[in-house]
Amino acid sequence: MALPYTPGYGYNPYQFGQVNPLQPQMDRLANMQAQYQPQVPQTNQGILWVQGEAGAKSYLVAPNTSVLLMDSEESRFFIKTTDNAGMPTLRTFEYREVTAGDTPAPQKQPEMSMDDKYVTRQEYNDLRGKYEELYGLLETATKPTPDNNRKGGRDNGKSSV
């Protein structure tokens, strides 16, 4: 059998309806390879995992950016933030699972002794009385007397010192 020849194009196996006899086998091989390719687990988009604090410290962050980094070793996460110059700050947080039966315990405020911070009405009135007494003494000591203001008064302009 003569091979089909197209002038200027060389050998053409598809001319006159002739098909490559290996083509169905190649298609079947490609289908079988596609079935047995290992499935790559889909990664969580947007969650960045690091190994411990050292991994978080070494993770590079662009200037003026904040990144949430999840620790793959412990129940922690990190927020790494950089300023304009690219200087990083790393904050570390711990987390735990909250179940439906958990009710958050109210945080107890530390007890403070209010005895030192406030005064009673009686103490206030006593202090006010002392203040008014001192203020009155100060006003009379600095108030010029009418006799000292006139020229030729009692001292005739002479200093008493």
Mean pLDDT for 10-26 is 60
Distance CA 51, CA 64 (A): 24
pLDDT tens, residue by residue, 93-149: 998 888 887 776 777 877 777 777 788 899 999 999 999 999 999 888 887 776 655
This prediction has a pTM of 0.37
Query: For residue 27, what are its two tokens?
Result: 């298609």
Residues 42, 58: contact at Cβ < 8 Å? no
Is residue 30 very low, low, confident or very high in pLDDT (cuts 50, 70, 90)?
confident
What does the pLDDT read at residue 42?
47
One-letter amino acid at 40 equals V
pLDDT(4) > 90: no
Distance CA 155, CA 152 (A): 7
